């Protein structure tokens, strides 16, 4: 987190107020075949360039925001959020409405969105460009390290303003890199920026043809776009497929996404561009990996959610606790605390002698069944009884360390019996998950779990098969 402290980032773009109306429904209208929603609580927060600014503040950066609002109540809410967030801002007023997106949420599901845009009233003219550049000069003089153009296609990031901002930042004795969160097919206005973070739809719009979400196709289109507009890098966001980084000096790097339960993707792009700007002395690749991790946190939250340093410090780490043969009471206590907190605990077990892709897939699938995953690990003596005198190949301490390094795993418990039945009788998890050709009613200890799930195996992958193949060679 120290990388972000004292960094100053300027954000120019379309400032949006995101509103949320929560409601319930139990009947259909007599006027039309639509649900009747009884509205309850209402809340709002910053969206668009405002959400980019809030992400940066959450990371500890100093932030200056420039955008446009109307002369209405929504504008006062925007200013209140900026003041509460400690964000310095220059907001130009115009006669149209403040850009507002109102989402109707019914029992956790978004059922409608109502937008107030007024794009035609918000377009910049020559006087706007002159004023923007004049204010920007003062901000740049305060030591801005990076500038973000957050373009939602809603009027503020006109070609004239984008060109003027990029050229002014490039003309400085110590040029300030400009990062683009792009929109639309007109990328000429972004020419010469340091980098951009388009999603797949934005990439397709920019190159003029639909780009399939495949590594090769994305890399080819991204490289073409980067060269055409003279950027140092592009970070292409690809939803569940992760991200692809295209740099001037290096080949494409595909950054996979962890499997997470996606609740709401609103604002994930804002988090990505903010992390790239905040990453300081990190390499572009390190920044991209960091942005990928942060984006996977915010999509698990409801509504537009700005990332914070606390979220990142408490994200799942590769340091799951390991409970040895004589530490079962500690494992039971941890499991009880998770259940008491209302978390759904999943248990799976195995020897995990030579860790392979099938193990990784099984653990990921098991973790998706709940909130916490405990892995029971056969001790060395137990493996010898089950597999023979030449097994295990790896000691239990090493096998446990590999399991604990997996993001899907929340705890590892070593047990000495041939089956985990006794361990399960004490842990009593919500779910018992097991990969293989087992039948649910045949699993030892099944009676101590509320639910049993049999996970599919990856064909052709097993520790025994790998060991035998190595011996034959």
The catalytic site residues sit at 270
Q: List, in order, residues 6 or more apart from 69 with CB less than 8 Å away.
A: 15, 75, 78, 79, 91, 92, 93, 94, 98, 99
Residue in this structure with the two tokens 């200013």, named with its chain if needed: 79
From edge to edge, which strands make up the β-sheet containing 243-247? 88-93, 62-69, 8-13, 146-150, 178-181, 195-196, 233-237, 243-247, 253-255
DSSP letters for 408-438: T-SEEEEE-SSSSHHHHHHH--SEEEEESS-
Burial 213-230 (b: 16+ CB within 10 A, else e): eeeeebbebbbebbeebe
CA angle 167, 171, 173 (to 5 degrees): 155
For the beta carbon of residue 33, count every other beta carbon within 10 angstroms. Answer: 7
User: How far is Cα 189 from Cα 171, in angstroms, rounded to an integer?
Assistant: 17
User: How far is Cα 400 from Cα 263, in angstroms, rounded to an integer?
Assistant: 32
Nearest CA-CA partner of 410 in 342, 361, 347: 347
User: How far is Cα 447 from Cα 4, in angstroms, rounded to an integer?
Assistant: 50
Pairing of strands 345-350, 372-378: parallel
Q: Which two tokens stand for residue 456?
A: 């599919």
For the beta carbon of residue 40, count every other beta carbon within 10 angstroms. Answer: 11
């Amino acid at each position: 987190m120290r990388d972000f402290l004292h960094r100053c980032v300027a954000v120019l773009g379309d400032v949006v107020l995101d509103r949320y109306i929560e409601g319930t429904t139990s009947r259909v209208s007599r006027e039309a075949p639509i649900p009747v929603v009884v509205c309850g609580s209402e809340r709002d927060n910053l969206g668009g360039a405002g959400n980019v600014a809030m992400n940066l503040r959450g990371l500890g950066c100093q932030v200056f925001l420039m955008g446009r609002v109307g002369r209405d109540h929504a504008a006062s809410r925007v200013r209140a959020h900026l003041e509460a967030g400690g964000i310095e801002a220059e907001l130009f007023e115009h006669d149209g409405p403040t850009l507002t997106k109102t989402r109707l949420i019914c029992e956790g599901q978004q059922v409608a969105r109502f937008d107030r845009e007024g794009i035609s009233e918000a377009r910049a003219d020559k006087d706007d460009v002159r004023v923007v550049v004049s204010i920007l000069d003062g901000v740049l003089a305060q030591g801005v390290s990076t500038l973000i153009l957050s373009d939602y296609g809603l009027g503020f990031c006109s070609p004239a303003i984008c060109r003027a901002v990029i050229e002014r930042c490039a003309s400085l004795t110590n040029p300030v890199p400009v990062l683009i969160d792009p929109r639309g097919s007109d990328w000429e206005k972004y020419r010469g920026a340091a980098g951009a973070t388009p999603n797949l739809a934005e990439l397709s719009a920019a190159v003029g043809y639909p780009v399939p979400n495949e590594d090769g196709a994305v890399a080819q289109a991204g490289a073409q776009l980067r060269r055409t507009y003279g950027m140092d890098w592009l970070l292409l966001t690809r939803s569940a497929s992760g991200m692809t980084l295209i740099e001037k000096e290096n080949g494409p790097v595909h950054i996979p996404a962890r499997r997470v339960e996606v609740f709401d993707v609103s604002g994930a792009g804002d988090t990505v561009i903010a992390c790239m700007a905040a990453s300081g002395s990190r390499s572009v690749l390190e920044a991209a990996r960091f942005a990928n991790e942060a984006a996977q946190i915010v999509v698990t939250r409801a509504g537009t959610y700005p990332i914070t340093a606390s979220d990142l410090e408490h994200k799942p780490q590769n340091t799951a606790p390991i409970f040895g043969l004589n530490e079962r009471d500690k494992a039971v206590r941890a499991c009880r605390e998770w259940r008491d907190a209302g978390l759904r605990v999943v248990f799976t077990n195995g020897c995990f002698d030579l860790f392979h892709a099938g193990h990784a897939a099984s653990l990921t699938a098991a973790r998706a069944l709940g909130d916490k995953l405990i892995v029971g690990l056969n001790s060395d003596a137990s493996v010898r009884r089950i597999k023979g005198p030449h097994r295990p190949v790896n000691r239990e301490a090493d096998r446990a360390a590999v399991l604990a390094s997996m993001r899907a795993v929340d705890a590892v418990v070593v047990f000495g019996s041939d089956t985990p039945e006794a361990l399960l009788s004490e842990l009593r998890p919500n779910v018992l998950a097991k990969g293989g050709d087992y039948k649910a009613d045949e699993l030892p200890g099944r009676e101590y779990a509320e639910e049993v799930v049999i996970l599919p195996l990856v064909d052709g992958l097993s520790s025994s098969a790998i060991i035998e193949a190595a011996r034959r060679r």
